[in-house]
């Protein structure tokens, strides 16, 4: 088995075993497979049919669909946990996406690349161009990320929506770091939230 991406590993480690989980933007199902190994009933939503096909071939239950539109099809509190990994920044309306996550799940995990990381700041400040870094490796014109978000922005959005941040994790590369100065030090952030 290949090793999980750090944000997925931290989510997998903190989902309660045996619970019902919806992984929104589940990709090739790596996290779902790990959750299944923990006895979870994991369901996925994924836009790319080739990735859905790989999930089905691994015996996972994944529906092809667009999270912006199709989360509405899922019943209220149908899941214990909803997961949005590296997908918030691709949402048409990230604020509404958060609402939907906490509607279909009692709690949620959200992970995203932090656009306030110092490499980003440096690239924009000194290069004057939209940054292309290891955590956001695609040029501005071909990226799926349409709402770049920072750790500070996310905290502010959560506060404005009265969404509780239960726990948070930060990573520089694959290395976990503390929350001190996370907004400029973290390349990736993971938040556990509840309504």
Partner 1 sequence: MPPATAPQTYTLPAPLPLDGGQALDGVEIAYETYGELAEDRSNAILVCHALTGDQYVASTHPLTGKPGWWERMVGPGKPVDTGRYHVICANILGGCMGSTGPASLAADGAPYAMRFPVITIRDMVRAQVALLDGLGIGRLHAVVGGSMGGMLALSMAANFPDRAARVLAIATTARHSAQNIAFHEVGRQAVMADPDWQGGDYYGSGRAPDKGLSVARMAAHITYLSEGGLTEKFGRNLQERDEKTFGFDADFQVESYLRHQGSGFTRRFDANSYLYITRAMDYLDLAEEHGGRLANAFAGTDARFCLVSFDSDWLYPTAESRHVVHALNAAGAAVSFVELSAPHGHDSFLLEHAALDRVVAGFVG
Give least dist CB 139 to partner 1, A: 26
* Nearer to partner 1 among residue 58 and residue 164 (C-beta): 58
Q: Residue numbers of the site for partner 1 (CB under 8 A)?
A: 41, 43, 49-50, 52-53, 55-65, 73-75, 78
**CB of residue 105 vs partner 1: minimum separation in angstroms?**
14
Strand ranges, E, within 15-56: 20-24, 41-46
We find the least distance from the C-beta atom of residue 188 to partner 1, in angstroms, to be 29
Minimum CB separation of residue 191 from partner 1 in Å reads 26
Of the two residues 57 and 146, which places its CB atom closer to partner 1 in the complex? 57
Q: Which is nearer to partner 1, 41 or 153 (CB)?
A: 41
CA distance 139 to 134: 12
Contact 83, 89 (CB under 8 A): no
* Residue nearer to partner 1 on the CB measure, 68 or 153: 68
């Amino acid at each position: 088995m290949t090793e999980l991406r750090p944000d997925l590993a931290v989510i997998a480690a903190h989902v309660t075993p045996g619970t019902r989980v919806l992984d929104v933007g589940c990709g090739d199902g790596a996290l779902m497979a790990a959750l299944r190994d923990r006895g979870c009933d994991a369901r996925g939503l994924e836009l790319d049919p080739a990735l859905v096909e790989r999930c089905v071939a691994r015996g996972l239950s994944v529906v092809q669909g667009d999270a912006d539109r199709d989360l509405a099809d899922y019943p209220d509190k149908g899941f214990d946990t909803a997961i949005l990994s590296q997908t918030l920044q691709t949402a048409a309306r990230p604020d509404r996406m958060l609402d939907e996550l906490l509607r279909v799940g009692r709690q949620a995990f959200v992970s995203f690349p932090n656009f306030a990381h110092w490499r980003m700041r440096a690239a924009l400040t000194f290069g004057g161009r939209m940054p292309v870094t290891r955590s956001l490796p695609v040029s501005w014109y071909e990226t799926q990320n349409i709402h770049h978000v920072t750790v500070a922005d996310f905290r502010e959005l959560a506060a404005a929506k009265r969404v509780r941040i239960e726990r948070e994790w930060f990573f520089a590369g694959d290395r976990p770091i503390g929350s001190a100065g996370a907004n400029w030090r973290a390349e990736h952030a993971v938040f556990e939230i509840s309504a």
